[in-house]
Amino acid sequence: MFQPFIVKASFVTGIASGALYGILAIALVMSFRMSRVVAFVHGGIALSSAFLYWYLVANPARTSGHGTNLAYATKEWPKLPAVILAILLGAGLGILFASVATGRMSKWPRITVTTFALGGMLLFAGITQEIWPGAFEIVPSPFGKGRVSIWGANVSHHQIAVVSILVFLVIVLHLLVTKTKVGVQIRAISDDVEAAEIVGVPVRRVSMGVWCLTGAMAGLGGILLAPMTRLGASVVLFVLIRSLAGAVLGGFNSLPLALLGSMLFGQVEAHVTGGTFGKISSGWREVILMAVLFTGIFIVTRRRRSQFRLTEA
């Protein structure tokens, strides 16, 4: 039953999808550390950026409405400006959200602000669907269609790029957070907002900056996600919930643990889907992932109960 070929292939797929979840998970953890809010809104941002990217680069002959009066005149731009625009859109939406969440709502109960984040997600998704009511679009990868063979597994350029981008992001963020003055301020805010304000950290400005960055990362995540499946609202949600699970496994607080969680989810999913353990239906895959998530939450809240009360809303 354990065929080396399948295991290898699943392992590689798992790394690529784990890396994708990781990018969003980092965005979620960083936003959480800034504002104590689960940034559901990143799901909406990823969706908007993905659709914008699709609209800018896709071949109009291959869109879902092709040949009907619903056809979209997609643009077939070169990839790079489209990627940049879509990331900028993500950054802008991140700032838009943060201007409320760190302004008017900065001292509100975090469950309310998190509900607001849900609203942001639904709103961005709604607007995107208004503009492009399509579903399951085929999206070309910014890195072409090429494939190479690694360890006997057939790997696409896109997958390699996703992993490389994650590694790059992790290194840059690590340097930013540990080695710069801004990094100290970011960590000071996530440690104790009021104290950070007292010692003169421009809390609002730094938080907005971080939300801008995480919004851009969510946008990037959306762009990278789209070519890996077909683009539709539910697909993005699926990735979001896996990233959330990864972030939860890190207690929303630790970047390395969140990455580990995302990778774990990527692996479990890839092996279950890929057939390492024989044929398992997609329903059972969901149940297994849910069980992992559940256990994760349980461990995390156990571990941290001693540190502070999680029950404050």
Partner 1 sequence: MLEVSELSAGYGRLQVLFDINFGVRAGEMLAIIGPNGAGKSTLLKSLIGVVTPTKGRIIFEGSRITHEPPNMRVARGLTLSPEGRRIFSSLSVHENLLSGAVRTSSSVIETQLEKIYSLFPVLAEREKQEAGSLSGGEQQMLAIGRALISAPKLLLIDEPSMGLAPLVVAELYDALLKLTSEGIGVVVVDERVTEVTRISDRTCIVEKGRIVYEGEHSEALEQLRDTAFLGTL
Partner 2 sequence: MSKLTVANITGLRFPEKITGQDRRHFLGGALVVLVAISVVPLFVADYWIFLSTAGFITAITVMGLAIIIGWAGQVTLAGAALLGTSVYITGYLMREGLAGSGGWPFIPALIIGALCPAVLSALIAVPTARFSGIYVMVLTMGLQVTLERTLFTYTWITGGVGADVRINRPKIFGFEFNTDHRYFYLSFSVMVIAAFVMYALRNSRHGRAIQLVRTDRQAAAAVGISPWLYRVVAFGIGGLFIGLAGAMTAPLYESPPALTQYILFQSLFLLAIPVVAGTQSITGLIVVSLTFQILPPALQSHRLSVYLLGGIGLVAGTLVGPRGIVGTTLDFLQQQRDVKSLERASANENDLGEEATDESKKASSNITPSKPATESAKVRKDE
Q: Name the one range near partner 2 by CB under 8 A: 64-72, 259-267, 268-276, 292-300.
A: 292-300
- Binding-site partner at residue 237 among partner 1, partner 2, none, CB < 5 to 8 Å by type: partner 2
Residue in 174, 192, 298 with CA at minimum distance from that of residue 248: 298
Q: 3-class DSSP state for residue 35?
A: helix
Please select the residue that binds partner 2; options are 22, 120, 246, 261, rule is CB under 8 A. Answer: 120
- Residue closer to partner 1 by CB (options 178, 295) is 178
Residue 142 β-bridge partners: none
Show contacts with partner 1 in window 130-189 (CB under 8 A): 181, 184-185, 187-188
Q: Which is nearer to partner 1, 76 or 192 (CB)?
A: 192
Q: Backbone phi, then psi, for 105, in 5-degree steps?
A: -100, 10
Whether 152 contacts 11, CB under 8 Å = no
Instruction: Figure out which of the listed residues 100, 172, 195, 299 binds partner 1, where binding follows CB under 8 A.
Output: 195
Tell me if 308 contacts partner 1 by CB under 8 A: no
Residues 6+ apart with CB under 8 A from 116: 100, 101, 105
Distance CA 121, CA 28 (A): 13
Measured from the CB atom, the residue of 171 and 195 that comes closer to partner 1 is: 195
Helix axes 41-57, 110-131, angle to 10 degrees: 20
Contacts for 153 with CB less than 8 Å, ≥ 6 apart: 8, 9, 11, 12
| Whole-Å CA distances, 264 to 74, 207, 222 | 37, 29, 20
CA separation (Å) from 143 to 15, 39, 79, 158, 166? 18, 28, 8, 6, 15
Picked from partner 1, partner 2, none, the partner binding residue 148 (CB below 5 to 8 A depending on kind) is: none
Task: Work out whether 310 is an interface residue with partner 2 (CB under 8 A).
Answer: yes
Within positions 123 to 182, which residues make up the interface with partner 2, using CB under 8 A?
A: 123-127, 129-130
Is residue 221 within 8 Å of 41, Cβ to Cβ?
no
- Burial code (b: 16+ CB inside 10 Å, e: under 16) for 170-187 equals beebeeebeeeeeeebbe
Which is nearer to partner 2, 38 or 161 (by Cβ)?
A: 38
With respect to partner 1, which residue has the nearer C-beta, 115 or 254? 254
Total residues in contact with partner 2, by rule CB under 8 A:
49
Binding flag, residue 183, partner 2 (CB under 8 A)? no
- Binding partner 2 (rule: CB under 8 A), the pick from 7, 88, 118, 184 is 118
Look up residue 181 and give its amino acid.
K
Residue 148: CB minimum distance to partner 2, A: 32
Q: How far is the CB of 184 from partner 1 (least distance, A)?
A: 5
CB of 258 to partner 1, least distance (A): 16
Q: 190 vs 243, which CB is nearer to partner 1?
A: 190
Q: Torsion angle, CA of 40/140/22/312, rounded to 10 degrees?
A: 0
Tell me which of partner 1, partner 2, none is bound by residue 167, counting a contact when its beta carbon lies within the kind-specific cut-off of 5 to 8 angstroms.
none
Angle between helices 110-131 and 233-249 (to 10 degrees): 150
Residues lying near partner 2 in the complex (CB under 8 A): 38, 100, 104-105, 110-116, 118-127, 129-130, 233-234, 237-238, 241, 244-245, 248, 252, 282-287, 290, 293-294, 297-298, 301, 305, 310-313
Residues lying near partner 1 in the complex (CB under 8 A): 181, 184-185, 187-188, 191-192, 194-202
